[in-house]
Amino acid sequence: MNFHILSLFPEMVLGGLATSITGRAMKQGKLNIEAVDIRDFSKDRNKRVDDYTYGGGAGMLMQAQPVYDAWESVAKKIAQNSVTKTFPGDCSKKVRTIYVTPQGTPFSQAMAEDFAKEEELVILCGHYEGIDERVLEEIVTDYVSIGDYVLTGGELAAMVIVDAVSRLVPGVLHNEVSAETESFHGNLLEYPQYSRPSVWHEKEVPAILLTGNQKEIDKWRREQAVLRTRQRRPDLFRTYCRLEKIKEALCTEKLLHTDMIAAIDRGSAKVVFWKKEEILLYDLQTDIYYHTNLSQSSRQSFLQGFVMEENDVLSKHPCNCLVLHQQKFVKRAELLFELKKTMSCNQVVYTRHEKAPVSGLYRPDGKCMPNGLVIKQLTKEHAKLVSEAYLTMDKEYVEERILSGAMIGAFVEEKMLGFCGNHNDGEIGMLYVYPDYRRQKVAKALVTYLINQKLDTGQVPFGQIVDTNESSRKLAEGLGMYTSKTQLYWLEKKENA
């Protein structure tokens, strides 16, 4: 990911970000942080970039011209280097440009997740009393504040944003688990943690943590997280309670709604509409909308009157992808959102808490089976092979999934026999076994591995199987997964369909 920070103090920004985890990621080429000195674009003899404010008032204002020229130099570079269709050679289309200001929308984890989807992010730092409004109108796409206080300039705010976004970029955090089990995950604050010694200042570590009973430990941690959120962040706690109520409703048809429940548990689901039994969620991480209507009545309309509880969600995030959980709404949703149905599938869910047996499939310690088979996480070098074999998946998505540590392969002496992975919405999928190695339990080994990995991190393993994929259906059933009675329907923008 590339950050471009427009500032009067570029050395301050780089000095802060070139160390620690962001520094390491920069060295490894996973992040590129460029600080552009706005003063370099001043046309003034003395390199001035500020002037008095029209209408009077204390202090100086940053002028439009140097700010615009600095931004344009970056926007043009981005347009030229852009390999994607976003803005080939055309910098008039807005590059995502954040102006950090106390007047902006409060920065949040959800916002960080949204920014992390961009390939290029420009951040503009102000100084003095602010920046001439006219240039802001032309270049800024997002106004962001890091809190209700006033800093001397935007640099510290820009650094906060870069740091929070960077750690969500695949491969930046080496320990992938830590990006998941953290504060704000699942709308809860993190539980208290302890390290050695077990007694310090006569305070003992909670006894449960020393028992080795992981199930009980997980339960205790969850309770502590709920308690802590209620005490320290009543605002977050209210959101959590609301989503728990929605989860309860979704659980009346658990197999059909496992995808929605998973989005809530990831902590990235926003409620767009909830009235009686009709629910529309938006997943900030994946840009997917999920709809269900639990009412049995055939007259229940789809998003009655199209009234949104949080209108801003739909205006900021156009509905390009919608998963419906009832067939009767397909036609209306296609019309309302200008979408086209791209597939219908059944959800398959592994409902047990006990791991799936691995004997005869693979060794959980990572060593080779007697036949030489070993399961390993895929790395960047495998991206080409995967894309060539799995043609329906876009190349960029494959790379992103591999870098996120979401894909695994079955190998014998470095030869890949097949692969499988976790989609960004949490489903197990992307299963492929090369023809020469089929009917040798390779697929079973791969899916079992991912099922058990999900159970290790407290997630419910699930997948979605299209009608025509008979072999995957058999495999899922053979692994003890249960299939939803009815189907779910994927709708996408017409041009992608």
By CB under 6 A, name the binding residues for ligand ADE: 100-102, 145-147, 149-151, 154, 157
Tokens standing for residue 174: 């080496």
Q: Select 14 or 146, whichever has its Cβ closest to ligand ADE.
A: 146
Q: Select 63 or 187, whichever has its Cβ closest to ligand ADE.
A: 63
Cα 375 off chain centre by: 26
Q: Select 131 or 169, whichever has its Cβ closest to ligand ADE.
A: 131
- Whole-number minimum distance, CB 218 to ligand ADE, in Å? 37
Residue listed under structure tokens 């949490």:
426
Question: Do the Cβ atoms of 459 and 426 come closer than 8 Å?
Answer: yes
Which residue's CB atom is positioned nearest to ligand ADE? 157
- Whole-number minimum distance, CB 264 to ligand ADE, in Å? 30
Question: Do the Cβ atoms of 141 and 96 come closer than 8 Å?
Answer: yes
Question: Do the Cβ atoms of 455 and 461 come closer than 8 Å?
Answer: yes
- Whole-number minimum distance, CB 60 to ligand ADE, in Å? 15
* Tally of CB atoms within 10 A around 341: 17
428-433 and 2-7 as β-strands: parallel, antiparallel, unpaired? unpaired
Cα 403 to Cα 378: distance, rounded to the nearest angstrom: 8
Q: Select 146 or 260, whichever has its Cβ closest to ligand ADE.
A: 146
Cα 430 to Cα 386: distance, rounded to the nearest angstrom: 9
- Whole-number minimum distance, CB 145 to ligand ADE, in Å? 4
Q: Select 129 or 400, whichever has its Cβ closest to ligand ADE.
A: 129
Q: Select 165 or 313, whichever has its Cβ closest to ligand ADE.
A: 165
- Whole-number minimum distance, CB 17 to ligand ADE, in Å? 16
* Tally of CB atoms within 10 A around 483: 14
Q: Select 145 or 472, whichever has its Cβ closest to ligand ADE.
A: 145
Element (H, E) at 144: strand 142-145
- Whole-number minimum distance, CB 279 to ligand ADE, in Å? 34
**Residue 477 forms beta bridges with which residues?**
none
- Whole-number minimum distance, CB 107 to ligand ADE, in Å? 8
| Side chain identity at residue 347, one-letter code | Q
Q: Select 60 or 151, whichever has its Cβ closest to ligand ADE.
A: 151
> Which backbone phi and psi does 380 adopt, to 5 degrees?
-50, -35
**53 CB burial (10 A radius; 0-12, 13-18, 19+):** middle
Q: Where are the alpha helices (DSSP H) in 82-144?
A: 109-115, 133-139
- Whole-number minimum distance, CB 114 to ligand ADE, in Å? 17
Question: Do the Cβ atoms of 407 and 419 come closer than 8 Å?
Answer: yes
